[in-house]
Amino acid sequence: EVQLVESGGGLLQPGGSLRLSCAASGFTFSKYAMSWVRQAPGKGLEWVSAISGRDNSTYYADSVKGRFTISRDTSKNTLDLQMNSLRADDTAIYYCAKANSGWPIGYFDYWGQGTLVTVSS
């Protein structure tokens, strides 16, 4: 059974940093692309970042480019999102999502339960 479990969310002030983690199990983690997708309170879904399962190339939404870094550790089956220079509009539930293949621009067949990040002074 595929499981994705996020952790690391919390409350922090603007300008701060946070590292989210997603523990993956139930599939060959190294072969699949992974993404982070966020959802601001009461709002829709926004894709944030992806990492390829083919060559570990990375992709970012313009809204987070230069501030967020996605990475994976295939020895631990974990996906991380390092978030720096956080702003109030980064407040959201952050979901870890598995892509359907190693190709990063896919659809998301499994999602974690999400972790809440709140940026507020």
Residue with smaller CB distance to other proteins, 15 or 26: 26
Taking Cα atoms as reference points, which of 39, 44, 48 lies closest to residue 116? Answer: 39
Cβ contacts of 62 within 8 Å, gap of 6 or more: none
38 to 77, contacts with other proteins by CB under 8 A? 44-47, 50, 59, 61-62
Residue with smaller CB distance to other proteins, 9 or 16: 9
CB of 6 to other proteins, least distance (A): 10
Phi, psi of 67 (to 5 degrees): -115, -35
Tell me if 109 contacts other proteins by CB under 8 A: yes
Distance CA 60, CA 5 (A): 21
Distance CA 13, CA 25 (A): 32
Residue with smaller CB distance to other proteins, 75 or 107: 107
Count of CB atoms situated within 10 Å of the CB of 13: 10
Tell me if 112 contacts other proteins by CB under 8 A: yes
Tell me if 32 contacts other proteins by CB under 8 A: no
Chain positions contacting other proteins, by CB under 8 A = 35, 37, 44-47, 50, 59, 61-62, 95, 100, 105-114
